[in-house]
Structure 1
């Protein structure tokens, strides 16, 4: 047997100066989804504003939720198997009014299949002439709708489609879409054309993004040119890349979509600015407490989705699966424009006549008032049959409770309605334009505690068959004897040059039940290291001197807490101190090699040999981003023979070819607590990921060398 061997030899790594690798994983369980479905509204039969009766090609159905903690919830199941398309649309009675501010909140479930998931779903605004039957159209007959369309984007299964207008014409027309894409569709090159699997070229794996499906400007054309002879008198094939606007990814949790959890989505439409803000994962799926979430705001040109200037759009969700599948489910909390309400929660320290904010402090036995405000702002119908599901703040002994309405009536709440810290009642009156406000008021006293006690934030929901809304109360602290208020009086955020020191100044105000104010100290912690405790002066002031040697490059965090000898503590105050830092390569191999490899006559990947080094030093502080870009020259022998193949950068989702064009391969957000100023890129590589050498089947034996150039950009990808 004839054996040929290839040794890919010396690589000269040139370095220039300048994110996040996205991975995903998956599994599927519809019973789990229904058993944990959050509280939602009724959408079947009794709701004339939404329908799954769209097209006979749709698999969408309505089923009842099976979570006993979410009574009356119904779930739209868009897909639950292979090779499906599903859609749910607003009816003519439920249009999205483009001239009014709108808000939509829903829960999404995209299965738990992680890396095996496919394909995802999309929220869509449209004025397609097919109305409820709107879906992508294609002249190429296939068994099922290409999965990468998600039921809304253009169909890229015709390799002869030579114009971006042609691909846009196959999408849902006059539309804007927000996609939740669970599968990486990133095939490119000669085998990509006609396979509808290229929209994510250059993208991370799992992502959320938006654009106009029926606009040619939403697509980039990729061409495979076979040349005059290779194409038998000139032949070209075409495939298309989707341009992703308003991108959301999750570096720390790359499988953040199809991960077996319900995800809350809030959409806010600013009619005057014509901006759409979408916030993902802004509620805890178990407690329904508010979370910061991840958000983007994009401008929507209404002329593109409403060319007839009707000032309205049909809205809904679409989803697709292929041989890669997942459950795509939606629970609705409200219908835009049907019932527009605002709900909020607050706690007032009656003795001090002030509203509590996060980590505000009260004293034992202080009188506290907890209020939940329900405000009806607009709508097509009253908000009726409102049920409360409130987890009341702990640490309070409640003495009275009532509901007051804007037209003057009062609904008494028996204290025995509070069971296990929960308040579940039905409001006696509906809210409407003529009775627009209701306040649930509970009065009590802070519990007597022997040491400082933290009362966590608490959530409450207000539900009906047509509208769900929620309100949270802030976390606060109960002190046994004294209330300490720590305030920084010097610059709260300080910027210094390297080696420069500073002094942080502040004061502590004490409100005490004791005859004399207790002795108070301030405990400073700098970047997690305890500093010497400082005694507060009689006038309440204190100083924390810091030298240049104590401060690190980048972001420093000085945490200050005041404490009395009786055990009372203040809220924690964080003082950010920035010392000028830099972004640079910490280590780069000057030359490296790949393994000697036996040629097989087929495409193969050659692994690295030796201890490759590639590390980034970023001392600019937590939250700074950088992107690593790579490019490669042709690999040649000493006599100029060009190797048939090229270096590639491989992660869990992509094989990125490295050629003469600089290509982003990794984006990273610095976290001082994890990175300690240095991120070792090479140590994140496995034998099958990182820089490898891809050899084509026609590669010839020889010793080749070439250059890889790394570029570091101080910006996201």
Structure 2
């Protein structure tokens, strides 16, 4: 037994020596004794948003950027330090501070993202080192000094500062443990010490299989602790016991390396208390590129359910959030660097590549059904876009520095930032660094900050689109694979990373489109039939069912698309317009229509052909049956006014600026054989009178003032004493008299 004890003491001592001191971890040396000790990028001025908890033996300290031990450009939270045993650590968001713009909390009713870098000490060797005890991310509704109840000067290391802490063997009861934990809370532990000693204060991990593990539960619920006659066992929900991205099977946290964590809170559905927390763990490399699990080809992800009723929020929706940790007889450097604080600024960044040549198609990851989803062809016009959008928060996303590595094999011609405010107004900013770009790398600080407040839309910039236009350029006859590239957008209160879609440049096989018809002229309301014939450069048979024809009218961004079933093909384009003059087809006058064909499988496009279509337009009158007022027959001389049922419209679909003239003539008014003594007359605005009976009289004129169809309401310009009236010159027999008016609209007198 003495021999075994001596052996154990020796191996533990050797392992302890393997841990790196804090000064080495924070040296910010890219090659410190063969290890990249770069301090990850993150936020500074953390004291604005986080509070060091007032608890016994709190070892937590905020190490400002570029100060003392911390040689990096980010603030580092030291929760516990290697060599300091029997210590506690806790840091909490300032949920209730008086400065509302800096209040830091999780709102359970909003989707929010927390991201950070975490360091757990240890050694980069199989089996690691003697580390303890880890950290826990905690959401709670207590205070910014919350911590496990401490008896005397210490708590059990296995509590991590959040779970219940046994002080005496009689404490191993679930109810007692729950009372001593942080109340109204949910915790996600990153446990680095295997507490499976069959003792009352070191038994939480008796049912775990890995030295390091990640798990979650509710610290203040008795159901979280399982009764055992030796010591309570922690009920590890959502347990994670391996992480292939680290290369270490047991000590995947304590491997002496930084690990990036992204947590996304998804609110519960209406009427439910079951929210979600999505954990992406070890999901990013130090350079900001994604870290992919070699077994799945994806990032490590775990989705966890969180019952918000356990927070006892009542009428509130805001939680404290932060980290707790503790050490027993073992210790480690527990470090945190924050990248985002959702209540301060929540925003999104996405990258996209658009193949403008093949119908403005966005390149995406290929699938079995769409194996060419990321394929472009040589000389295709491409745009590489970075879309930044502000979602919510108390402060703008500000001081944004874009560090962009653009994809290779694109000849870039232009670069531009387009800002859109919350009223939809757009403004632009040039990227001056574009002209001097080397190695496709650009660093540019955005001139404007992003912000959005749905309750106060006063012109804040809501989004920014950074666009680079160019053409695919492959100098080989074989396929060219273009790698995904990284870009970061680092603001003073939020940092985001994105990757472009990897894609393939293929050489075109040669689709030729020939014009087989002539330019045409049509009337308004008619259609134009445009024809074309498709062939391949290798003279192979064309299957038109794999092809679509695209028509761009008057160089517009919108296109008409038609799937083909025959070769040669016919495409019909309409000149009919909507009531408001809108439409996606032809305008009156001369129109240019450009056609090209695209293969729906390979996304290769043909050459373009152009047709000219002239829409002649039309001029017409729309009039309805109308009447004059009823009169007494004893009057023999008078001017009879119109009823209110007159409707005379001139409808003009010709070119803007065209003249029109409207004339009217009338037949005599008759009731059987009886003929009216007098007749219809036209009285102009000056009182001049003209007889319409069997005579054409000018009753209106105008000039077309806009594009599209324009309607002029003629009778609305007449008064009760002007326009067409009925003149009586003698005694008339009672009856119903009628006449036919002929309306003539023409473009000249």
Quickly name the TM-score band, shorter chain normalised: 0.5 to 0.7
Contact 2:163 2:181 in 1 (8 A): yes
- The structure having more radius of gyration, on CA atoms, is 2
Contact 1:333 1:468 in 2 (8 A): yes
Q: Which residue of 1 aligns with 2:639?
A: none
Q: Distance in 2 between matches of 1:310 and 1:447?
A: 57
Q: Which residue of 2 aligns with 1:263?
A: 259
> Which piece of structure 1 moves more, 254-263 or 244-253?
244-253
1:45-124 pair list within 5 angstroms? 45=47, 48-52=48-52, 54-55=54-55, 57-65=57-65, 72-81=73-82, 82-83=84-85, 84-91=87-94, 92=96, 93-113=103-123, 114-124=128-138
* Cα shift at 1:375: 0.6
1:442-453 pair list within 5 angstroms? 442-450=468-476, 451-453=478-480
Gaps of 5+ in 1: 1-23, 224-237, 485-511, 520-568, 572-717
Q: Which residue of 1 aligns with 2:654?
A: none
Q: Which residue of 2 aligns with 1:187?
A: 197
Q: Which residue of 2 aligns with 1:245?
A: 237
Q: Which residue of 1 aligns with 2:156?
A: 146
Q: Does 1:335 find its partner at 2:341?
A: yes
Match of 1:239, SS state, is coil
CA deviations on 1:524-548 (whole Å, 9 max, x unpaired) are: xxxxxxxxxxxxxxxxxxxxxxxxx
Q: Which residue of 1 aligns with 2:145?
A: 133
Q: Does 1:28 find its partner at 2:42?
A: no
* Cα shift at 1:363: 2.2
* Cα shift at 1:49: 1.8
Q: Which residue of 1 aligns with 2:578?
A: none
Query: TM-score, normalised on structure 1?
Result: 0.58
Match of 1:160, SS state, is helix
CA deviations on 1:304-325 (whole Å, 9 max, x unpaired) are: 2225443221100112223322
> 1:348 and 1:135, CA in 2 relative to 1: closer, same or farther beyond 3 A?
same
* Cα shift at 1:366: 2.1
Q: Distance in 2 between matches of 1:286 and 1:369?
A: 24
* Cα shift at 1:440: 0.2
**Correspondent of 1:362 among 353, 356, 376:** 376
1:163-242 pair list within 5 angstroms? 163-188=173-198, 192-193=199-200, 196-205=201-210, 206-223=212-229, 238-242=230-234
Q: Does 1:460 find its partner at 2:487?
A: yes
* Higher RCO (CA 8 Å, separation ≥ 6 residues): 1
* Cα shift at 1:110: 1.1
Contact 1:363 1:483 in 2 (8 A): no
* Cα shift at 1:281: 1.7
Contact 1:127 1:314 in 2 (8 A): yes
Match of 2:390, SS state, is strand
> 1:43 and 1:57, CA in 2 relative to 1: closer, same or farther beyond 3 A?
farther
> 1:382 and 1:372, CA in 2 relative to 1: closer, same or farther beyond 3 A?
same
Q: Distance in 2 between matches of 1:211 and 1:517?
A: 68
Q: Which residue of 2 aligns with 1:38?
A: 40
Q: Does 1:430 find its partner at 2:449?
A: yes
Q: Distance in 1 between matches of 2:233 and 2:535?
A: 68
Contact 1:362 1:477 in 2 (8 A): yes
RMSD across aligned positions (CA):
3.0
Match of 1:462, SS state, is strand
Contact 1:28 1:326 in 2 (8 A): no
Q: Does 1:408 find its partner at 2:429?
A: no
Q: Which residue of 1 aligns with 2:310?
A: 304
**Correspondent of 2:439 among 397, 416, 420:** 420
**Correspondent of 1:385 among 380, 383, 399:** 399
1:9-28 pair list within 5 angstroms? 27-28=19-20
**Correspondent of 2:538 among 516, 538, 541:** 516
Q: Does 1:286 find its partner at 2:304?
A: no
Match of 2:309, SS state, is helix
* Cα shift at 1:453: 2.2
1:510-659 pair list within 5 angstroms? 515-516=537-538
* Cα shift at 1:418: 2.7
* Cα shift at 1:65: 4.9
* Cα shift at 1:448: 2.4
| Matched residues, number | 445
Contact 1:25 1:116 in 2 (8 A): no
* Cα shift at 1:514: 8.5
Q: Which residue of 1 aligns with 2:466?
A: 440
> 1:263 and 1:413, CA in 2 relative to 1: closer, same or farther beyond 3 A?
same
Contact 1:403 1:438 in 2 (8 A): yes
Contact 2:45 2:64 in 1 (8 A): no
Contact 2:397 2:449 in 1 (8 A): yes
Match of 2:341, SS state, is coil
Q: Distance in 2 between matches of 1:161 and 1:209?
A: 23
> 1:218 and 1:480, CA in 2 relative to 1: closer, same or farther beyond 3 A?
same
Q: Distance in 1 between matches of 2:461 and 2:481?
A: 37
Q: Distance in 1 between matches of 2:24 and 2:540?
A: 54
Gaps of 5+ in 2: 1-15, 29-37, 97-102, 270-274, 293-297, 367-373, 453-459, 512-533, 542-600, 604-749
